Structure 1
Amino acid sequence: MTDPILERLADDFVEQAGQHDWHFASALSPERQKALLASCDVLVCARLTPEQAQGCGARYVHITGIGADRVAVAHLPAGTIVSRTGHHERSIAEHVVMVSMVHQRRLLETSRELQAGIWRTVATAPQTPMNPTFSGLTFGFVGLGGIGEQALALCNALAARSVAVRRSPGGALPAGLEWAKTMDALPELLSASDVVVLGVPLTAETTGLIGASQLRQMRPGALLVNVSRGPVVDQDALFEALVNQSIGGAALDVWWDAPSGVVAPEAVRRFAQLPNVIATPHNSGHTLDTFGSRVSEIAQNITAFADGRSLTNQL
């Protein structure tokens, strides 16, 4: 195993699959890692360069996340079996609800005011707006995969109205969804929603899906929540819309650039300083529930591989 995050749960791996010989290698030297890559039967990793993949002797590679873009799968030897794992859907869905409440209740704004000694409520300042509850909001889901369905269930529980656009809108509607249409109906969704939740994969078709035109179609007070990928949104168009306050705000957990260690990219700092932005460091799915469930699936898959049984989430 070379993933330093899941390596923190090494005891759980040993407890659940202790019949196998584990090597937790994230802190080892490159030379020692290279030797283990060449000799192991199974590799558990989050990242794998083309050079590392070519020298990998594992017959089975388990990626510790749902995305395979940081693992050079195409460079692995022919016949290598590859699986991946998710289990982040519920955690990200709770994040969607959390940031929506923070925005609608103006939590950051009122907290800053009180820190400055200002007690502003409808009782003390007549122009203070009255906050809505979820029963008065419409959520628009752009994409309705596992994250969207989990967030939809939470919104249903809070009596919100929900609509969606997705690539394949056929079949029965999930419970509580008022309508689901093709992506051609995106303008209708944008104009109808108080909260727009982006949950689509990054493809050629979704890159730049939300640009200046789409932002103009949103309601003036609406919140844009991006838990998909940064490039789904045009960066400059969003910044302009936020500065001009043509939309209510944005909750951004995914970005256009990668950090350097713990130093946030310039784009992140650019947006995070805006008062109508809720900025998080791509950690909406980082919960013990997510990682614990990943450990269980990986351990079960490794044992199944050893026994010659079928695997889950195989590429």
Structure 2
Amino acid sequence: MSEFKVLFTFKVWDELAHYLRDNLAKYTNLNLIMPADDDEDTILNLASQADVLFGWRPKIELLNKAEKMKLFIQPGTGAEHLVKVFKKYGRKSDVIITNGHGHAYEVAQHALGMLLALTNHIVGYHNQMVDGKWRIRESMSEGLKNKKIGFLGYGPINQFIHKFLSPFTSDFSILKRTRDIELEASLSSKIKFYTTKEKHEFLQRLDVLIIAAPRTKKTENMIGEEELQMLGKNAYLLNVGRGPIINEKALYMALKKQVIKGAAIDVWYNYQPQEINGKTYPYDSNHPFHELENIILSPHRAGSPFGDLSRWDENIQNLITLAEERNDFINVIDLQEEY
């Protein structure tokens, strides 16, 4: 069998290195290269002999250096950077590009926590207690029982959120780019399915909208002023997909004017914010979300727990597929669809 050199472009910590080597030990044709020094020059010098690059956010210089590359594995989900850089890459049609969804359970768990904190006003109650204000008003908590919940996107994250929310309600709707007959047949007949052409009908029936979709040309600004008005003043919104799926100004104004009841947001608009007076916020200064009371703010940390090494299993599976010289890779990114 052919030998494949797998170059890790980040510093692999000991626990992960052992996990990867243990799970791939029988595949002696995989040469796992984990540099002790992951500076850019070291990685570039090693890239010319690599059959696989394994890491995040590659630069075009690295891709061009990796002349033998057959496979690129990104452990995380976000595909927008990969799409952008690979579209500039001359050999893009020859290279299989994959990402990972191994953190989907953790993201879904975080999302559920945010949603319950929002609907039950947990943060507000906590702050009242910190300020020594004991039961100063009637309960503002609102249950999820029998709420109409809609999923924009139905990949692994929203599938887990769906399972977590099933004890609360049975009224679910799913919006996907196209109809998926196999998926629909596998789920309850009570679930309502919509395509993007039916977006307005989908939104008008919801009490809670949960977004876990990739950022593409088709999804950017998919939710704007009109769509937020359709959700209405009693609706909640949760976003663990990508910030720009919701128009920034429209979201801020909808919350400020109480066009919708509240939002829980883990994904934002500016990931290189400038520090102002010792503070940094990942959104436009004209949209001070932190001043609003009807929002739960989270710093894109839903998928952060790295202690569960099983999150790497999908990436390991793709390396096994390569080692066995098969072609049935999972989580392959389509550059045309942008995810």
TM-score class, shorter-chain normalisation, is: 0.7 to 0.9
Question: What is the RMSD of the two structures over their aligned residues, measured on CA atoms?
Answer: 2.9
2:76 to 53, 65, 69: 65
Deviations 1:114-157, CA, capped at 9 Å, x for gaps = 1111112xxx74xx245333223221222223322222222113
Q: Post-superposition shift, 1:108?
A: 0.8
| Aligned mate of 2:24, from 17, 22, 31 | 17
Contact 1:156-1:176 within 8 A present in 2 as well:
no
Cα contact 2:237–2:262 (8 A) shared by 1: yes
Matched, 1:243 2:236: no
Q: Residue type of the partner of 1:192?
A: R
Could you tell me which of 209, 228, 234 is aligned with 1:196? 209
| Aligned pair partner of 1:281 in 272, 284, 299 | 299
Aligned counterpart for 1:258 among listed residues 264, 268, 271: 271
Amino acid at match of 1:299: I
Q: After superposition, what is the alpha-carbon deviation per residue over 1:162-185, rounded to whole angstroms, capped at 9, x for unaligned?
A: 223332245336227542223344
Q: Which residue of 1 aligns with 2:246?
A: 233
Q: Is the 8 A contact 1:208 1:231 kept in 2?
A: yes
Taking the aligned partners of 1:50 and 1:224, their CA distance within structure 2 comes to 37
1:28 to 19, 24, 38: 38
1:98 is matched by which residue type in structure 2? G
Say which SS state the counterpart of residue 141 (structure 1) adopts.
Answer: strand
Q: TM-score, normalised by structure 1?
A: 0.85
Q: Any idea what SS the aligned residue of 1:22 has? A: strand
Alpha-carbon distance, 1:203 to partner:
2.7
1:7–1:62: structure 2 CA closer, same or farther, 3 Å change rule? Answer: farther
- 82-91 vs 254-263, which moves further: 254-263
Paired with 1:213 and 1:247, the residues of 2 have a C-alpha distance of 12
Structure 1 unmatched runs, 5+: none
Letter in 1 for 2:302: S
Change (3 A) 1:268 1:222: farther
Pairwise CA distance, 1:261:
11
Instruction: After superposition, give the CA deviation of every residue in 1:173-207 in whole Å (9 maximum; x if it has no partner).
Output: 62275422233443343333221112333233322
Q: How does 1:149-228 map to 2 (within 5 A)?
A: 149-169=159-179, 171=181, 172=184, 174-175=187-188, 177-228=190-241
Q: Quick check: 2:108–2:160 contact (8 Å CA) kept in 1?
A: yes
Per the alignment, residue 53 of structure 1 pairs with 63
Q: Give the AA of the match of 2:144.
A: F
Change (3 A) 1:112 1:220: same
Structure 1: how far apart are the matches of 2:318 and 2:193?
35
Shift of 1:299: 2.8
Residue 297 in 1 paired to residue 322 in 2? no
SS at match of 1:43: strand
When residues 170 and 53 of structure 1 are mapped into structure 2, their CA distance, relative to the original with a 3 A threshold, is closer
Counterpart pick for 1:97 among 95, 109, 112: 112
Give the Cα–Cα distance (whole angstroms) in 1 for the partners of residues 142 and 170 of structure 2.
Answer: 11
- Alpha-carbon spacing, 1:162–1:282, altered in 2? closer, same or farther (3 Å): same
How many residues get paired? 309
